[in-house]
Amino acid sequence: MTVDVLMTAPTMPLIVDGVDKAFRLHKLWEAKDPKAKLAEIAPIIRGIALGGHTRVDEAFLSQFPKLEIIASMGVGYDHVDGAVAEKHGVIVTHTPGVLDEEVADTCLGLILCAVRELPQSERYLRAGKWLNKNYPLTSTLRGRTAGILGLGRIGKAIARRLEAFGVEVCYHGRRPQPGVGYVYYPTLKELAENVDMLVCVAPGGAETKHLVNKDILESLGRDGVLINVGRGSVVDEKALIQALMDKTILTAGLDVFEDEPRVPQELIDMENVVLFPHVGSASVHTRNAMGQLVVDNLIDYFAGKAPRTPIPETPWPRKRAK
């Protein structure tokens, strides 16, 4: 039996080709009138390969009476209302695991760039300033303590790397984790007060919005370093800009922003901050693995197998039938 699968926006060829080979694929972005096309095909759609930043909420899901599964690209899924999907009997999958090491590598690169001012020193050389005098001495990782906000798979991979660099690690999350040897702080404020580098790997969403605010940045201190490779919404960007301007903290390294790809000009103009364009998992190897997981989740589900990586809000097997 042919299964109709919708793709909402352009995505990597590996996903398009993989889904097209296994199912009857409907590419919404190719329609002359996407709204009319969606109204036409929505009653037969059983699966969705989610592209772009399509918001999955009640209004979106109510269009698809036969929808069974949504396969989303990326480990973060704050664009998906998992509770509403579960209410509709729709399984939602994402792509965790396969990107952990890549993001952790990027995070360590971002830390080194922020603390040792590596991009700034390269610009210094390119501008010919080294001909006149050496680049100024920088801060260091030596003697630092790192606090990780969100000690999940990626957080643990970052922690292992920090340990290899001789950096002490502690963490904050909803609860202490069994079998974890790092010091746990029950509140983010306590963590910030006891570290001089805060590494944010927390997911987005209402619960984590602006967790890192003016108070937390002040607690981090004047030698403090803020690193964010989780979600931009976790950090109050206005408070961070002010803290950097006032030298409330030393520096920041950011791979994510509140309104991507729009980055505040104040951050772009600053020298005491390092900015990456959300490249945490952006290698050919890792993005191919993520894309294949999108395809495999759909193929396995419609073959009668368990989807590989359902989000916690829509567990497998289903709690209730649609």
Query: Could you list the active site residues?
Result: 231, 260, 278
Task: Answer yes or no: are the C-beta atoms of 273 and 247 closer than 8 Å.
Answer: no
Tokens of 114: 């922020």
Distance set, CA 133 to CA 114, 123, 211, 272 (Å):
22, 14, 42, 20
Q: Is 153 left (phi over 0), alpha (psi -120 to 50) or beta?
A: alpha
Q: Residue 141: what residue type?
A: L
Positive or negative, the CA dihedral 68, 36, 16, 205 is negative
Q: Residue 161: what residue type?
A: R
